[in-house]
Amino acid sequence: MVKRIRFTTIAGSLLLTVAGTSASAQLSPVADWATHVANEYQVQANITYLTASGYESKLDVYRRRDVATPQPTLVFYHGGGWITGTKEAALMSLMPWFEMGWNVVNVEYRMARVAVAPAAVEDAQCALRFIVNQAKNYNVDTNRIVVSGESAGGMIPTSAGFTNICAGGGFTGSDATVPKVAAIINWYGITDLNDMLSGPNMRSYAVQWLGSTPNRDAVAKSVSPMSYVRADLPPILSIQGDADPIVPYSQNVRLRDALVKSGAKAELLPIPGGGHGNFKPEERAKAYMKIREFLAANGLMRTSGTEN
């Protein structure tokens, strides 16, 4: 029997369906789980959380149907070097969080073609503010928001979790009015943008994101997590292949070491011989085991059967 898992958008909601050539045949374990997820989650797609630069930045909310209490929530940002990528393409990265029973918010942000740096990081912070302001509507536990992303999408939530940045709000450091996240999970994200504008670690996508602004070094520093190392930051787990050709592995080693020295909680899980994502199944399984361990150590794991 051939089965298909299909995602479609109808009236602003994302629907997951499982189809087969025989209606009477048994579903495979994977298809059965996918059907369970489809029944368990209500999805509100393409919600506009910010309009800036003439562009509507949108997000999707995956909310559990079977609970009445506020839930731990992942806010996720896709990768693509700030010049490409979509939230829809990141959907498979959300699946382990559905399996853990978390609410998930999948965020898009302005690309360089719409607005150069620091627009993407501004958007990340604005998305957090939006989710916190709408927490009752989306059943979000504001004390258990974890931000995560891959590559450029790993840097974006890290920067947003370290700083107070929102479109038109400037860079003002910590601020009681800004949502403080419970933890950060950084998948091979950039941590020092200045390091990538020239020299041996120069990357064309980083240069493109900064554009031709005359104060590009200052802007690059203002969005780099390395610029905000201090003791009172949220716990952060970074995951990266130590042979990553796209983002220098040394950047996340430096960030981990600087954070630990400052007194912050920081861990780095290296993937030996791993590149820029595209990890082997056993490597990704190892990463998610570490994520579960990290969440549990910081009191963030959802306890099945106790939250309703």
pLDDT of 15: 45
Q: Where are the domains of the chain?
A: 50-297
pLDDT digit string (tens) for 231-279?
999 999 999 999 999 999 999 999 999 999 999 999 999 999 999 999 9
pLDDT digit string (tens) for 127-148?
999 999 999 999 999 999 999 9
* CATH code assigned to 50-297: 3.40.50.1820
- Give every residue of the chain whose pLDDT is below 50, as ranges: 1-24, 167-176, 306
| pTM of the full structure | 0.86
pLDDT of 34: 65
3-state secondary structure the chain: CCEEEEEEEECCEEEEEEEECCCCCCCCHHHHHHHHHHHHEEEEEEEEEEEECCEEEEEEEEEECCCCCCEEEEEEECCCCCCCCCCHHHHHHHHHHHHCCCEEEEECCCCCCCCCCCHHHHHHHHHHHHHHHCHHHHCEEEEEEEEEEECHHHHHHHHHHHCCEECCCEECCCCCCCCCCCEEEEECCCCCHHHHCCCCCCCHHHHHHHCCCCCHHHHHHHHCHHHHCCCCCCCEEEEEECCCCCCCHHHHHHHHHHHHHHCCCEEEEEECCCCCCCCCHHHHHHHHHHHHHHHHHCCCCCCCCCCC
pLDDT of 303: 66
